[in-house]
Amino acid sequence: MQTKKWDPVQGLKYIILAFATFVVLFPPYIIFINAFKSANEGANPFALPESFLNIDNFVNVFVRANILQAFSNTAIIVIVSLIGNIVLGTMVAYVLGRIDFRGKSIVIGAFLFAMIIPAITTQVVVFSLIQSLGLYNSLAAPILLFIGADVIQIYIYLQFIRNIPYELDESGMMDGASLFRIYRSIIFPLLGPATATLIILKTINMYNELYIPFLYMPRQDLVVVSTSIMRFAGNNQAQWGNISAAILLIMIPTTVLYLFLQKYIFSGVMNGAVKG
């Protein structure tokens, strides 16, 4: 082994990274220490709490911000939407990737153009539509809005389908399999990696979505993660101990999940960006 010379550029890199680390961790650190403080512990945000065993704020938040309900509602919405969305998305991709028909470019164009319409703007109209369907204040409202296939998903799937040799379909037909069977037993499983990418991207999006649950599910027990913290912070203005505890409770599950799945999440985001 050669001994390495001191490299100033390498040193500079570490200085920049140290600064970035500070910027990333500083806000969560403040939240962390203040979540354990009771209201009479003074306003200095840097002071350590009297005791890290003081979990009053967490107990309070757990009950009043409906954290459990929020997570279970969010989970229902995400899981049901994902299942529906993956089924629909792979179906569209199968048709567009494997069947020639007139008007194919119109169908792709329709999905493409839909992307440029910011979803929030159309809520003005969608709102009355959801109401007339009787879905206002139900979990079905966001699910119905999340379930549809979008153009990025279709592009990702199409990229994959083009790489699945058509000979596989043909050998299926040779065995007398129906086209539905070919879709279900050959194409769908082989789209697995693309599906994994999409599960990651879509879960992040749905988890962060604020306006759709806010608009369509104002009822208390239909709270999701985004609206729970919003309501709680709105009702407890400047009670930083409580708000910090709420933020912490919301952040911990996804952070832990992320640390376990970071490899897949990275590749999911990279694939999504390069192909989308």
Partner 1 sequence: MNKWSYKTQRKLILIAFLAVPLALLGMFTYYPAARLLYQSFTDWNGVSASSTWLGFDNYREIFTNPALFGVFLNQIPYVIIGIIQNIVAILFAVILNSKLKGRNGFRVLLFLPFMMNAVAVAFMFQYVFDTSNGSFNGLLGFLGLESLQQSWLGNTSLVNYSLASIGFWRFMGYNMVIYLGALQSIPADMYEAAKIDGSNRFQTLWYLTLPNMTKIIQLNMFLTLSGALAVFDLPFVLTKGGPAGASETFLLKTIQTAFQFNNFGLASAMSIVLVMLTAIILLIQNAVIKRKGD
Residues numbered 35 to 74 that lie near partner 1 (CB under 8 A) are 43-46
Residue 248 in contact with residue 35, Cβ under 8 Å?
yes
The two structure tokens encoding residue 23: 């910027």
Binders of partner 1 in range 157-186 (CB under 8 A): 173, 176-181, 183
Contact status: 125 vs partner 1 (CB under 8 A): yes
Stretch that binds partner 1, among 14-22, 54-62, 160-168, 191-199 (CB under 8 A): 14-22
**Token pair 């529906």 in the structure block, residue:** 84
- What is the Cα 273 distance to its own chain's centre? 15
Residue with tokens 């989308």: 276
Minimum Å distance from CB 193 to partner 1? 15
Neighbours of 145 (CB within 10 A): 20
Q: Smaller CB distance to partner 1: residue 53 or 125?
A: 125
Question: Contacts with partner 1 in 79-118 (CB under 8 A)?
Answer: 88-89, 91-92, 94-95, 99, 101, 107, 110-111, 114, 116-118
Tell me if 27 contacts partner 1 by CB under 8 A.
yes
Amino acid in position 14: Y
Contact partners, residue 171, CB within 8 Å, separation at least 6: none
Q: Which one of residues 11, 20, 50, 51 is an interface residue with partner 1 (CB under 8 A)?
A: 20
Between 54 and 71, name the residue whose CB sits nearer to partner 1. Answer: 71
Q: Are 194 and 159 in contact (CB under 8 A)?
A: yes
Question: Pattern of binders to partner 1 over 207-236, x per CB under 8 A?
Answer: xx-xx-------------xxx-xx--x---
Check binding of 126 to partner 1 (CB under 8 A).
yes
Instruction: Tell me which DSSP letter residue 132 carries.
Output: H
Instruction: Tell me the C-alpha distance between 153 and 89, whole Å.
Output: 7
